[in-house]
Amino acid sequence: MAKRRNRGRAIDGVLVLDKPPGCTSNEILQRIKRMYGAAKAGHTGSLDPLATGVLPLCFGEATKFSQFLLDADKAYVVKAKWGERTDTSDADGEVVERCSTDGLTQAALLPVLEQFTGEIEQIPSMYSALKHNGQPLYKLARQGVEVERPARKVRIHSLELLEFDATHFSLAVSCSKGTYVRNLVEDIAAAMGNLAHVVELRRTQAGPYTLEQAVTVETLSQVLDSGGHKALDELLLPLGTSADHWPELELSESTAFYLRNGNPVQIPGAPVEGWVKMIGPNQEFIGVGEVLDDGKVAPRRLISNSN
């Protein structure tokens, strides 16, 4: 009889990882999952191998809320090089076109940045994780295949110019889900009559999580070596932090009972629309809900111990 495989530890919480360069989000997820010996874990949206910064990893019950973090707003600091376009739109690719950078000025760039603030349309790069007939676009691109990609609407909340010279420029970008910063850089350069590609990309925020909360792989290794799994677990943030960017509602015992049984309820002080974080009568995190057209709050994701 075959020995039953150890499925790992049942742990719940969110780790805000400072993703290192040179690996995919899934590769680093699997590495951290092994370090924790966790039974269940998932990430909250891909970062390119070149990119670093905030990558929330969800363990156990927290995976129920990973989609909401995937859909949340993001913030980045990006550095781009003028005068060159690459096949991947970043420094990991091959240069396919060059142009002169003569005449580029900061004064000309600032009004262009204003044009790209607000709702814009982007055509996703072939080097993205979007799928065509079940196949990731980046895999098709590596095979030399290009397919038509419909434009997608995204929102750029703010664009701040951090640095500018004749060879590079850096931006702080706050944006909606689905924004491709590589495409944004190329489009800004095109509006300047020039070319550009990303050389550095660092995510500074994902939903409620920021770089200040992020932990490096090196720190995790040191903590594991010195304190084992117990010490690692202390770095996990509570499940409820995944909904900290939404209004919080405190429930009475009866209201919590009905919500736990899947019933929409009327809650005093609830917003008129959108998503809410729900806190039980003992200040415990219950889950998240959505305000319906009639003003009631419907449960959308509940943690298991609230059932």
Amino acid letter, 47: L
- Of 227, 173, 228, 235, nearest to 198 by C-alpha is 173
Q: Is 155 in the same domain as 92?
A: yes
What is the chain's length? Answer: 307
Q: Report residue 307's pLDDT band, with 50, 70 and 90 as the boundaries.
A: very low
In a domain, 7, yes or no: no
In a domain, 6, yes or no: no
Residue 151 has a pLDDT of 79
Beta strands at 52-59 and 196-206: parallel, antiparallel or unpaired = parallel
Q: What is the mean pLDDT of residues 210-225?
A: 97
Amino acid letter, 55: L
Q: Is 280 in the same domain as 224?
A: no
Residue 125 has a pLDDT of 72
130-134, 283-287, 298-302: segment of lowest average pLDDT:
130-134
In a domain, 3, yes or no: no
CA distance 86 to 124: 15
Model confidence at 1: pLDDT above 50: no
Q: Is 32 in the same domain as 96?
A: no
**Tokens at residue 32, please?**
């951290």
Residue 58 has a pLDDT of 95
Cα 306 from chain centroid (whole Å)? 27
- Supply the mean pLDDT for the chain: 90
Q: Is 62 in the same domain as 137?
A: no
Q: What is the pLDDT of residues 12-55, one digit of tens each?
A: 999 999 999 999 999 999 999 999 999 999 988 888 899 999 99
CA distance 166 to 92: 21
Q: Report residue 305's pLDDT band, with 50, 70 and 90 as the boundaries.
A: low
Q: Report residue 150's pLDDT band, with 50, 70 and 90 as the boundaries.
A: confident
| Contact between 135 and 172 (Cβ < 8 Å) | no
Considering the entire predicted model, what is its pTM?
0.89
Q: Is 97 in the same domain as 175?
A: yes
DSSP one-letter code for 110: H
CA distance 248 to 238: 15
Q: What is the mean pLDDT of residues 115-124?
A: 90
Q: Report residue 306's pLDDT band, with 50, 70 and 90 as the boundaries.
A: very low
In a domain, 270, yes or no: yes
Q: Is 163 in the same domain as 265?
A: no
In a domain, 5, yes or no: no
Domain that holds residue 292: 246-306
Residue 145 has a pLDDT of 61
Q: Is 179 in the same domain as 81?
A: yes
Q: What is the pLDDT of residues 44-103, one digit of tens each?
A: 888 889 999 999 999 999 999 988 888 899 999 999 999 999 988 999 999 999 999 999
Helix (H, G, I), strand (E, B) or coil at 176: coil
DSSP one-letter code for 130: -
**Tokens at residue 38, please?**
């966790």
In a domain, 258, yes or no: yes
Between these two residues, 70 and 305, which has the higher pLDDT value?
A: 70
Between these two residues, 266 and 141, which has the higher pLDDT value?
A: 266
CA distance 173 to 80: 13
CA distance 267 to 307: 19
135-139, 168-172, 173-177, 196-200: segment of lowest average pLDDT:
135-139
The angle formed by the CA atoms of residues 162, 168 and 170, to the nearest 5 degrees, is: 25
**Tokens at residue 274, please?**
């959108």
Catalytic status, residue 48: yes
Which residue is associated with the tokens 């939404």?
Answer: 246
Residue 132 has a pLDDT of 60
What's the structural domain count of the chain?
3
Which residue is associated with the tokens 């495989």?
Answer: 5
Q: Is 181 in the same domain as 89?
A: yes
In a domain, 2, yes or no: no
Using H for helix, E for strand and C for coil, what is the string for 192-250?
Answer: CCCCEEEEEEEEEEECCEEHHHCECHHHHHHHHHHHHHHHHHCCCECHHHHHCCCCEEE
Q: What is the pLDDT of residues 261-296, one digit of tens each?
A: 999 999 888 999 999 999 998 899 999 999 999 999
DSSP one-letter code for 60: G
Q: What is the mean pLDDT of residues 167-194?
A: 96
Amino acid letter, 13: G
Q: Is 115 in the same domain as 157?
A: yes
| Contact between 203 and 75 (Cβ < 8 Å) | yes
Q: Is 300 in the same domain as 266?
A: yes
Residue 126 has a pLDDT of 62
Beta carbons within 10 angstroms of residue 134's beta carbon: 5
Q: Is 125 in the same domain as 55?
A: no
- Residue of 48, 90, 187, 233 with catalytic role: 48
Here the CATH number for the domain that contains residue 36 is 3.30.2350.10
The β-bridge partners of 135 are 132
Beta carbons within 10 angstroms of residue 14's beta carbon: 27
